[in-house]
């Protein structure tokens, strides 16, 4: 039984907080399961870019007032 726990820990990837799109990208790019947590997907980069653009717009609007 402990053997299966160790194997599951080593080979079953952590998929928490990942969308199906992100999981598809991780598997298509053959990312190792231990690197799932640190890998930055295209969707995450796009979300970060949108967040930064939105905050810059709010800063510009705040300066005009």
Q: Per-domain residue ranges for the chain? A: 2-64
- How many Cβ atoms sit within 10 Å of the Cβ of residue 58? 10
Which of 1-27 are b and which e, b meaning 16 or more Cβ less than 10 Å from the residue's Cβ? eeeeeeeeeeeebeeeebeeebeebbe
Question: CA-to-CA distance for 51 and 35, rounded, in angstroms?
Answer: 25
- Does this model's pTM top 0.85? My answer is no
Query: Which of 12-21, 22-31, 49-58 reaches the highest mean pLDDT?
Result: 22-31
| Tens-digit pLDDT profile for residues 30-62 | 999 889 989 999 999 999 999 999 988 887 877
Label residue 15 by pLDDT band (50, 70, 90).
confident
Question: CA-to-CA distance for 17 and 38, rounded, in angstroms?
Answer: 12
44 and 22 Cβ atoms separated by less than 8 Å? yes
């Amino acid at each position: 039984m402990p053997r299966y726990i160790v194997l599951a820990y080593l080979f079953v990837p952590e998929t928490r907080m990942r969308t199906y799109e992100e999981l598809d990208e991780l598997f298509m790019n053959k990312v190792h399961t231990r690197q799932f947590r640190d890998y930055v997907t295209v969707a995450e980069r796009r979300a970060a870019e949108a967040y930064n653009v939105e905050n810059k717009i709010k800063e510009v609007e705040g300066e005009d007032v």
